[in-house]
A = this chain, B = another copy of it.
C-alpha cells in the first residue's frame, strides 16, 4: 500500500469539503484514516483535518491526490512545484499541470506565488526573475518557457460558501426553473448591476441574436445608455439582425411591430450587411448617419467595448467581426480581465466560450428559455453562476424597469 498525508483547512465542514474529499477517496478506490480533526466550535471558526490517504499503486495514489487538490487538499510534506521547459512553441512539457478557474498558489523557492488570471484548462508558466506565476494557453506557450509539471507545490483555494446572507450569487450553481417566481430575483440582479455600475469592475453582456428576435433590443439599448454595460461579446448575427432592424424596421425580414405573426423573406439581413460593408464598418456607419438606432448604434455612441467573434455560420461578415477563432479567444481573455458581473443571455455558444475563460469569482447570471442551456452553464462546480429559465424579452423589460426604480429611489433618498 502507498500512502500520503493531506491537510484540509477552512470551512471544510459546512462547505462540504471534508466529506467530498472522503467521498473522492472511496470513489477512487482508495482508503483513508483520519489522523486529526479539529472542528470550529462557532460558525465563524475555521476547521482543520489531517488525513492519511492510501491506494494500491503509486499511480492510483497520484491520481487520487490530483483530485483531492481540486478540493483544496494540500500534501502535508510541502515541497516546491516542479518545473519543465516547453519543448517547442505551442507545446507543453509532458505531465503539465492543468488549471481550474479558482484562485491558485504555486510554491517556488519555498514561497507561494498567486497564479495570475486563473482560467480553466491552461498551464502555469513561471517567470522566476519577476517571481511571477500566470496561466498560459497552447497558443501562447513559447519554447523554453518554464511550466509547472505534476501537482507538487500547487494549492487551489476551494470555493467556500459566503458568510453574508444577502448575495443571490452566494449559492453556487443555482438554477431557477421556469416554475418559479422571478420578481424578487430580478430586483436583486438590478441591485447587483447598480452596484457594479458604481464600482470599478466591468459589466459584461454576452448576448445572442434572440435578444433582437424577441424584441428585447430596446431594453439592452436602455441599459447601455444607463451606463450598465462596459463590454459586449457576441457574434456577427446579433449585430446583423440589430442593424437590419435599425435600417429596415425588420428582423429576419419581419416587421416586429406591423407583421406580428407572418414570416416573410430574409433578404434584408444581407442588404444590411452590404450597407455596413459599403460604409466601412459599424462605427463609420454611425458616424456617417446611416445607422441611427439600435444596440450597435448605442455601443458606438456610449463607447461600449464591443467584440464580435466569427463563425462558419456567418453571412458577410460585418467588417468588425474577428474571423480567426484563436485571435478572438485572445481578445476575450484580454477584455474580460476586470469583469465583475457577467450576464449571459440567449446564446449557448458564446456563453460557454466566455464562461470557460472567466475567473471563478466573477458573478455570472445565465438567462435562457431553454432549461438545457441554463443547466449546462451552471452545471460546473467551478462557478458563481446563477441560472434563470425564462423568456428574454419580459426578463429584460422587468430588469430595466427595476433599474429605473432603483435610480428614482436613489434620487429621492438623497
In the assembled complex, A67 has its CB within 8 A of some CB on chain B: yes
In the assembled complex, A312 has its CB within 8 A of some CB on chain B: yes
With A180-B214, A256-B181 as contacts: A27 and B138 at CB distance below 8 Å? no
- Rounded to whole angstroms, the CA-CA distance of A207 and B286 in the bound complex is 41
Binds B, one of A14-22, A101-109, A196-204, A335-343: A14-22
Closest to A42 in B: B33
List residues of A (1-50) whose CB comes within 8 Å of B's CBs: 13-16, 18-20, 22-23, 26-27, 31-34, 37, 39-43
Interface residues of A, dominant DSSP:
mixed
List residues of A (315-357) whose CB comes within 8 Å of B's CBs: 315-317, 323-329, 332, 349-350, 352-353, 356
A41 touches B37 (CB 8 A): no
With A184-B257, A213-B181 as contacts: A121 and B353 at CB distance below 8 Å? no
- Rounded to whole angstroms, the CA-CA distance of A121 and B268 in the bound complex is 10
In the assembled complex, A293 has its CB within 8 A of some CB on chain B: no
List residues of A (193-247) whose CB comes within 8 Å of B's CBs: 210, 213-215
Binds B, one of A152-160, A258-266, A297-305: A258-266
Report, as a range, how many residues of chain A touch the other chain. 35 or more
- Rounded to whole angstroms, the CA-CA distance of A47 and B338 in the bound complex is 45
B273 touches A138 (CB 8 A): yes
Between-chain CB contacts (< 8 Å), 30 pairs = A13-B22, A14-B22, A14-B23, A16-B16, A92-B274, A96-B274, A98-B265, A98-B267, A98-B270, A121-B266, A138-B274, A138-B277, A178-B214, A178-B369, A179-B210, A179-B213, A181-B214, A182-B215, A184-B260, A309-B312, A311-B353, A312-B328, A312-B329, A313-B352, A313-B353, A314-B329, A323-B325, A324-B325, A370-B372, A390-B391
